């Protein structure tokens, strides 16, 4: 923390000085331009004086006289301005009196000619002109002005050179500052990530630090330009000592980083690397420095990052920040291994530097591949099982049909015609065969829940319930049952299977009854999340709690065949249907009072 703050402070100092330097230089250039402009102005005005007094001499026209007077004023202004602008330059100041003297001479001449013209007419004016040194004055003026201009340019060049020198100094420190700051943050970030596995923290820290750095610089810039005075007058030597100390610290951290770290320049060359890089790739440091990064990362690194003609490196990098890229690393001995790299851009005046942290992910890749394979095997095995169940039940039906049909024919044809034993034997055979037929049909039904299931669509469960009740109307009428329901919602379901589900549950409710009128009630409530919980409540025989789990098993029956008909697969089918819909089914019950079956279905996306 302290390190980061002092980094920012030191950086602030440096950038403030850079700012001051650049402001000064701009002012220099402006100054020079102004001086040159003014000199030019003076020269032009003198030329105009010349032209105007001659024209007046010739024509006697008032307008020329007026123009002459205006030019005289401009000359005076110009000279005063130049004097003001060059007060700090002795050489210029020495040359100025010369300028003034020459222009004065010119004006004197002009004045004389004008007077003569007014008084004595054209002849007198011409006379006066012939006596004076007109041409040489103009040449002399030219020479003086040029002298002043040259001096000004020389001054500018000198100031420029000075500026460049100071800026280079500042630039160097700036780059070092930024790189080391980022390197330390990245190293810290990766070691944090290694321990806590949170890469995001490092990124945030980097951006945060960058943000604070930028904010500090901005604040300093503002205060500098508003002229409220520098905030810190840190002497130059102190800052340099601090920098040297911090540099030492940063280098130490970089070397200690657990991952390989390299810095790549815009030519794709490695300009910095750490110990881990040497270890992971099997090179000595001097073998890798200034080599192309493609030596250790053959593909995928350089192409995207070096500024291509289509976009700047900054943009290309911006896309990569915070994401690890999976590539292949190559060791000195030629062997390759999978790596993950994380990039950080580093702007510098000479181009973009890229810092990359490289991690060996061989173990991770192997684990992922293993997992994928296991999942595939599992899927394949599941499918085989489903197919097997279907084929088995289907192919078992044929021979069973023969057995069942013929035992029934036997029974029909020979009942009472053979002895009593034969009748009994045949009866058991017939019974067994028909039971087996029903079992196989139920098994087929069960396996079809998976194989013939349709997509889950928005279904009005109330309508589905009504279909189920229609299918059960025989049983309902026979038992005199009363089936009621609350308004029921729209859910995501396979309509056919939902009908089956309702039919099984309500059919059971009616079947396993006490004497009296069976009552069944169907309701639904939201579970507070994405599901609707349905309840089918009856006043029937009830179920002993120790059977709550068992009844959902395949072919599980709690009653003798003579008491109640059925193969015991109904609830297993219900469970499979509900689970296919992503829910679960359970029962609450009291023996003699009744049971409530509850199951969950996903709510429709459309309705709230």
Partner 1 sequence: MSDGGSSGPPLQVLLVEDSLGDVRLTREAFREANMSIGLHVAADGVEAMAFLRRQGANQHAPRPDLILLDLNLPKMDGREVLGRIKEDEDLRTIPTVILTTSDAEADIVRSYQLQANCFLSKPVQLDAFETLVRSMSDFWLTMVKLPQQRHAR
Of the candidate residues 192, 234, 327, 400, the single one contacting partner 1 (CB under 8 A)? 400
In sequence order, what DSSP letters do the residues of 592-607 get, joined into one string?
A: TTEEEEEEEEEBPSS-
Handedness of CA 277, 283, 289, 292 (dihedral sign): negative
Of 289 and 400, CB closest to partner 1? 400
Of the candidate residues 402, 470, 482, 517, the single one contacting partner 1 (CB under 8 A)? 402
Residues 418 to 447: which contact partner 1 by CB under 8 A? 434, 437, 441
Query: Does the protein bind partner 1 through residue 70 (CB under 8 A)?
Result: no
Of 108 and 405, CB closest to partner 1? 405
Handedness of CA 478, 479, 484, 489 (dihedral sign): negative
Of the candidate residues 243, 346, 404, 439, the single one contacting partner 1 (CB under 8 A)? 404
Of the candidate residues 409, 418, 457, 470, the single one contacting partner 1 (CB under 8 A)? 409
Total residues in contact with partner 1, by rule CB under 8 A: 13
Query: Does the protein bind partner 1 through residue 69 (CB under 8 A)?
Result: no
| Cβ 397 to partner 1 shortest distance, Å | 6
Q: Is 462 exposed, middle or buried (0-12, 13-18, 19+ CB in 10 A)?
A: middle
Query: Does the protein bind partner 1 through residue 390 (CB under 8 A)?
Result: no
| Cβ 428 to partner 1 shortest distance, Å | 17
Of 209 and 439, CB closest to partner 1? 439
Question: Is there a contact between 140 and 104 (Cβ–Cβ < 8 Å)?
Answer: no
Question: Is there a contact between 265 and 351 (Cβ–Cβ < 8 Å)?
Answer: yes
Query: Does the protein bind partner 1 through residue 389 (CB under 8 A)?
Result: no
Stretch that binds partner 1, among 405-413, 486-494, 504-512, 534-542 (CB under 8 A): 405-413
For residue 582, what are the CA distances in angstroms to 491, 523, 524? 12, 19, 17
Length of the chain: 608
Query: Does the protein bind partner 1 through residue 477 (CB under 8 A)?
Result: no
In sequence order, what DSSP letters do the residues of 113-142 get, joined into one string?
A: HHHHHHHHHHHHHHHHHHHS-HHHHHHHHH
Question: Is there a contact between 54 and 68 (Cβ–Cβ < 8 Å)?
Answer: no
| Cβ 408 to partner 1 shortest distance, Å | 5
Query: Does the protein bind partner 1 through residue 401 (CB under 8 A)?
Result: yes
Of the candidate residues 405, 463, 484, 545, the single one contacting partner 1 (CB under 8 A)? 405
Query: Does the protein bind partner 1 through residue 388 (CB under 8 A)?
Result: no
| Cβ-Cβ contacts under 8 Å for 194 (sequence gap 6 or more) | 258, 259
Question: Is there a contact between 547 and 558 (Cβ–Cβ < 8 Å)?
Answer: yes
| Cβ-Cβ contacts under 8 Å for 541 (sequence gap 6 or more) | 512, 513, 514, 591, 592, 595
| Cβ 407 to partner 1 shortest distance, Å | 9
Of 67 and 444, CB closest to partner 1? 444
- First CA to last CA distance, the chain: 50
Query: Does the protein bind partner 1 through residue 22 (CB under 8 A)?
Result: no
Of 159 and 438, CB closest to partner 1? 438
Q: At what angle do helices 2-59 and 62-85 cross, to 10 degrees?
A: 150
- Between CA 145 and CA 514 the distance in angstroms is 125
Of 257 and 569, CB closest to partner 1? 569
Binding site residues, partner 1, CB under 8 A: 397-398, 400-402, 404-406, 408-409, 434, 437, 441
């Amino acid at each position: 923390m302290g390190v980061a703050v002092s980094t920012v402070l030191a950086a602030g100092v440096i950038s403030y000085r850079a700012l001051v330097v650049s402001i000064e230089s701009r002012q220099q250039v402006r100054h020079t331009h102004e001086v040159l402009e003014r000199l030019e102005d003076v020269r032009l005005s003198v030329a105009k004086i010349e032209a105007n007094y001659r024209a007046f001499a010739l024509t006697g026209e008032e307008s020329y006289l007026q123009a002459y007077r205006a030019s005289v004023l401009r000359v005076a202004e110009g000279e005063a301005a130049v004097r003001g602008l060059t007060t700090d330059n002795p050489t210029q100041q020495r040359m100025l009196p010369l300028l003034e003297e020459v222009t004065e001479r010119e004006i004197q001449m002009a004045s004389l000619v004008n007077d003569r013209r007014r008084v004595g007419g054209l002849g007198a004016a011409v006379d006066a002109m012939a006596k004076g040194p007109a041409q040489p004055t103009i040449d002399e003026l030219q020479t003086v002005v040029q002298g002043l201009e040259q001096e000004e340019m020389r001054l500018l060049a000198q100031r420029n050179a000075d500026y460049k020198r100071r800026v280079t100094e500042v630039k160097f420190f700036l780059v070092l500052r930024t790189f080391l700051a980022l390197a330390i943050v990245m190293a810290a970030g990766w070691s944090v990530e290694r321990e806590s596995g949170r890469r995001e923290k490092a990124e945030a820290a980097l951006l945060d630090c960058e943000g604070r750095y930028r904010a500090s610089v901005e604040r300093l810039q503002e205060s500098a330009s508003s002229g409220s005075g520098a905030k810190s007058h840190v002497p130059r030597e102190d800052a340099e000592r601090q920098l040297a100390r911090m540099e030492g610290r940063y280098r130490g951290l970089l070397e200690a980083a657990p991952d390989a770290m390299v810095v790549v320049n815009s030519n794709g060359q490695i300009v910095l690397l750490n110990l881990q890089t040497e270890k992971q790739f099997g090179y000595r440091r001097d073998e890798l420095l200034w080599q192309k990064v493609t030596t250790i990362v053959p593909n995928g690194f350089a192409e995207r990052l070096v500024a291509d003609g289509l976009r700047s490196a900054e943009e290309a990098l911006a896309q990569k920040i915070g994401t690890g890229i999976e590539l292949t690393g190559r060791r000195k001995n030629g062997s390759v291994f999978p790596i993950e790299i994380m990039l950080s851009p580093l702007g510098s005046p000479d181009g973009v530097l890229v810092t990359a942290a490289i991690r060996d992910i061989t173990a991770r890749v192997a684990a992922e591949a293993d997992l994928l394979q296991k999942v595939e095997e599992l899927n394949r095995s599941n499918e085989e099982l489903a197919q097997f169940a279907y084929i088995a039940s289907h192919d078992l039906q044929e021979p069973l049909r023969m057995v069942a049909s013929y035992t029934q024919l036997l029974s029909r044809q020979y009942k009472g015609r053979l002895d009593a034993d034969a009748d009994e034997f045949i009866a058991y055979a017939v019974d067994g065969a028909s039971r087996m037929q029903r079992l196989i049909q139920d098994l087929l039904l069960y396996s079809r829940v998976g194989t013939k299931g349709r997509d889950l669509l928005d279904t009005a469960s109330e309508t589905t319930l009504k279909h189920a009740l229609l299918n059960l109307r025989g049983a309902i009428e026979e038992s005199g049952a009363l089936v009621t329901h609350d308004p029921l919602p729209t859910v995501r379901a396979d309509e056919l299977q939902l009908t089956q589900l309702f039919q099984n549950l309500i059919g059971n409710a009616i079947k396993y009854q006490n004497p009296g009128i069976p009552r069944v009630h169907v309701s639904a409530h939201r579970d507070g999340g994405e599901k609707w919980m349905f309840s089918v409540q009856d006043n029937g025989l009830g179920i002993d709690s120790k059977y709550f789990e068992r009844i959902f098993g395949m072919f599980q029956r709690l009653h003798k065949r003579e008491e109640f008909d059925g193969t015991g697969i109904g609830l297993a089918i219900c469970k499979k249907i509900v689970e296919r819909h992503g829910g679960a089914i359970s029962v609450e019950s009291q023996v003699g009072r009744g049971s409530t079956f509850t199951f969950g279905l996903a709510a429709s996306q459309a309705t709230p």
